[in-house]
Amino acid sequence: MKKSNAIPTMKDVASEAGVSLGTVSKVVNGLPVGEIYKTKVEEAIRKLNYHVNSYAQGLKAGKTGTIALLIPNLWDPFFSVLTHHINRALQARQYRMLLCTTDFNAAQEQEYVTMLQNNKVDGIIGLTCNPALAVPESIPFVSIDRSMGSGIPCVACDNFMGGQLAAEKLADLGCRRVAFLRTGSSLANEPNKRKAGFENGCLSRKLKYEMLILGDEESYDKFDAFLTEHKIDGKLSFDGIFCVTDKIARYVINVLKKMNIRVPEDVQVIGFDGIRQLGDFDYLCSTIVQPVQEMAQLCVDLLLQEASPARPQLYCLPVSYVCGGTTREIT
Amino acid sequence: MKKSNAIPTMKDVASEAGVSLGTVSKVVNGLPVGEIYKTKVEEAIRKLNYHVNSYAQGLKAGKTGTIALLIPNLWDPFFSVLTHHINRALQARQYRMLLCTTDFNAAQEQEYVTMLQNNKVDGIIGLTCNPALAVPESIPFVSIDRSMGSGIPCVACDNFMGGQLAAEKLADLGCRRVAFLRTGSSLANEPNKRKAGFENGCLSRKLKYEMLILGDEESYDKFDAFLTEHKIDGKLSFDGIFCVTDKIARYVINVLKKMNIRVPEDVQVIGFDGIRQLGDFDYLCSTIVQPVQEMAQLCVDLLLQEASPARPQLYCLPVSYVCGGTTREIT
DNA sequence: TTGTATGCGTTATCAT
DNA sequence: ATGATAACGCATACAA
């Protein structure tokens, strides 16, 4: 007599079906087995409501069918939407996803990596900020938005092109004098290239521009001050603003409203990221849209693909411009 | 000679330190061990960069230190913020989180539950829609926003009180005739109580109200039509609207703008959920705020606590009202 | 083709 | 207090 409440194991199935352990294993794994045995085993499985223990499986195989995602948080729409697409791409390939939020904490990032290190996960996708993050060779890693060198592929949108596109659009839309606003320049990551792209675009279109780059510790208040300084006789001395994120764009738009400056009539604003209101409503502003879904898919593909001999260190996916009401429509 | 590239195991540590397996295990688990042995083992661990294999641990212990979250998606801010807080609450208790997005698909929900069934996870937190979801007794389950009966606790905000609060606020703010707009009444879940609470509030304050309840397949267009119908001589026949979610509220506010009806001057609008722009900016509208963080914490506490003899089936956490600019300020 | 036996990395129960 | 050894549930090489 067995304990009736215990979780059924393969052994239980074997004795229930009157066959041996190996036979059950073969049935479960779809290996060739005599038809008569197969049905007997399947019946026993159903009867006992048996499910394989994937931890025991993982122990044996050295693979767990689980990958981990390192991401700062999930309240920022960019991160949560990215996480969503990565999760679904993983699901489609029958992988489970372990979620690790790091809150931009370098120490915690490292802690996670070491925790996941050995054979707990089959791979890691990480959007991290720790410049010295030590990733063991033994575990496949794909980085988002940050080049980590040493054979770790990095997936990002084409940030340089995005910056350039913003400048070009502003020029096309009739701007003559524009501003560039950004924060967080201290991190050496791909989004930094938006600045260079923007400058490049301004130069090629002969657009005059001014830049305000906030340090890590400075608050958005500096943007208020900057804009106020540039308001002369009730008019802003810019007719276009490129903000390095939609978040800054939204903030700036609010400030402008308080200053009685109309958007887009007096000044046109372009952001970056392509965040939508409530996930699937309108864009928050005219913006450079990151192909989030494609980026997610690529991360998963790179992580799960057989390591090909030589592959690029950096994958830049194309961005696009959309009008979200804070620029004039292109006619 | 061992393969030098293999992941070190406890056995490797043992032979490296010149002690037995059991001793290493004790050191790793903090059990009393002679000081001299302890240091030797710790040295070996450092030298080999050894980490315990939690899958092997889980196999033995029957516990995995992992819980799963079933949630429709992560692009909806309410879900992603909830997920964020659950993840952090779990982290704080040293649990890992498996993320399972279900896209409101009843079949997929069931598939996940059966997949996670045996000993893959120590518990499940689920925001599900499958009315017949079969949850095995063997695995602890906490439900969000939906009562599942049979000893499964349900965590929700006080939806009834929220509806009532909305009505009372509208009354306090001077409304005389209000409307209630909602969708998705087919799911039997806690948020449905918002309606009853609102009606109750209207009655007690002698507020006249009208309701529009959309079926599952009807689109938001119906709201447009409803509002248009109630615009007479350029004036809306309501001076207050309660929308069952912030999402609907935002939609309605956009419609009203197009109809040249001012918010909050002509009509005041209250939503539900407490979504913030970009996660931490302003509220999207005046709204009844769900205590998302507290709900997340409670889910985790309930899931991980020792099963106490008798506990409530339903936990209602208090909601609060905030002005998000679509109502007049209370003075 | 089916059954048997061993090992995966860890913990726990024994002797020592 | 420490060391040997038997499980845990599954996969697989090998023997029948």
pLDDT of A183-198, one tens digit each?
977 888 999 999 999 9
Query: Are B272 and B162 spatial neighbours (Cβ–Cβ below 8 Å)?
Result: yes
d(CA B241, CA B228): 14
State how far Cα B303 lies from the chain centre: 14
| pLDDT at residue B45 is higher than 80 | yes
Residue A106 backbone dihedrals phi, psi, to 5 degrees: -60, -40
Alpha helices, DSSP H, located in A104-190: 106-116, 159-172
Predicted confidence band of residue B250 (pLDDT cuts 50, 70, 90): very high
pLDDT in tens, B3-18: 456 789 999 999 999 9
Q: Using CA atoms, how far apart are residues A279 and B76, in angstroms rounded to an integer?
A: 5
CA-based nearest residue in chain B for residue A53 = B119
Interface contact B101-A87, CB threshold 8 A: yes
B287 close to B272: Cβ distance less than 8 angstroms: yes
Give dist(CA A227, CA A238) in Å, integer. Answer: 9
Q: What is the rounded average pLDDT of the residues B249-262?
A: 95
pLDDT value at residue A44 = 92
pTM (2 d.p.): 0.95
Q: Which pLDDT value is given to residue A314?
A: 95
Calculate how close chain B gets to A195, using CA atoms only, in Å.
23
Place B216 in a pLDDT band, splitting at 50, 70 and 90.
confident
pLDDT recorded at residue B270: 98
Angstrom distance (rounded) from CA A168 to CA B319: 47
Q: Return the pLDDT at B5.
A: 66
| Chain A residue numbers touching B278 (CB-CB < 8 A) | 76-77, 246-247, 250, 275, 284
Q: What percent of chain A has pLDDT over 90?
A: 80
With beta carbons under 8 A apart, name residues in chain A contacting B77.
75, 77, 80, 278-279
DSSP B309: S
A84 in contact with B at a CB cutoff of 8 Å? yes
SS3 state at A228? helix
Strand partners, A226: none
Give B174-196 as a DSSP string: T-SEEEEEE--TTS-SGGGHHHH
pLDDT digits (tens, 9 = 90+) for A57-91: 988 888 889 999 999 999 999 999 999 999 999 99
Give residue for tokens 């309701």.
B211
- CA torsion angle for B32, B33, B36, B38 (degrees, to 10)? -90
The predicted-structure confidence for B291-327, as pLDDT tens digits, reads as follows 999 999 999 999 998 766 678 899 999 999 999 999 9
How much is the average pLDDT of A220-247?
94
Query: Does the pLDDT at position A151 exceed 90?
Result: no
pLDDT of residue B3: 47
Cβ proximity of B286 and B271 under 8 Å? yes
CB-based contacts of B156, cutoff 8 Å, min separation 6:
B144, B145, B190, B191, B295, B314, B315, B316, B317
User: For residue B279, what are the CA distances in angstroms to A291, B71, B85, B283, B285?
Assistant: 21, 18, 12, 9, 14
**Are the CB atoms for A56 and A114 separated by under 8 Å?**
no
Nearest to B80 among A55, A75, A115 (CB): A75
State the average pLDDT over residues A151-169: 97
Residue range B43-56: mean pLDDT, rounded: 91
B301 touches chain A (CB under 8 A): no
Q: How confident is the model at residue A7 (pLDDT cuts 50, 70, 90)?
A: confident
Q: Is the pLDDT of residue B94 over 60?
A: yes
Best CA proximity match to B249, nearest among A281, A109, A245, A5 = A281
Residue A1: is its pLDDT beyond 70? Answer: no
Best to test chain A binding among B3, B9, B10, B55 (most A CBs inside 10 Å): B55
* Percent of residues, chain B, with pLDDT higher than 90: 81
Phi-psi domain of B43 (left: phi exceeds 0; alpha: psi -120 through 50; beta: other)? alpha
Tell me the per-residue pLDDT of A173-186, one tens digit each, with 9 for 90 and over.
999 999 999 997 78
Cα angle, residue A320 at apex, residues A314 and A326 outer, rounded to 5°: 130
Are the beta carbons of B27 and A24 closer than 8 angstroms? Answer: no
> Chain A 88-147, CB below 8 Å of chain B: which residues?
88, 91, 96-101, 114-115, 117-120, 138
Q: Could you report how far apart the first and last alpha carbons of chain A are, in Å?
A: 81
Rounded to a whole number, what is the distance in angstroms from the first to the last CA of chain B? Answer: 81
pLDDT given at position B234: 85
The pLDDT of residue B2: 44
Categorize the per-residue pLDDT at B331 as very low, low, confident or very high, splitting at 50, 70 and 90.
low
E-strand ranges in chain B read: 66-71, 96-101, 123-126, 141-144, 154-157, 177-182, 208-213, 231-232, 235-236, 240-243, 268-273, 287-289, 314-317, 320-322
Q: Which chain A residues have a beta carbon less than 8 Å from that of B66?
A: 98
- Pairing type for strands A123-126 and A66-71 reads parallel
**pLDDT reported for residue A149:** 84
Strands A268-273, A314-317: pairing is: unpaired
User: Model confidence over A101-110: pLDDT tens digits?
Assistant: 999 999 999 9
Closest nucleotide to the alpha carbon of A9, via C1': D9
* Distance of A148 CA from D6 C1′ (whole Å): 46
| Number of Cα atoms under 13 Å in the Cβ half of residue A225 | 8
Of B76, B99, B120, the CB nearest to A54: B120
List CB contacts (< 8 A) between A74 and chain B. Answer: 74, 80-81, 83-84, 87
Interchain contact B71–A (C-beta under 8 A): no
Q: Is the peptide bond before A264 cis (omega within 30 degrees of 0)?
A: yes
Alpha carbons A256 and A89: distance in angstroms, whole number: 40
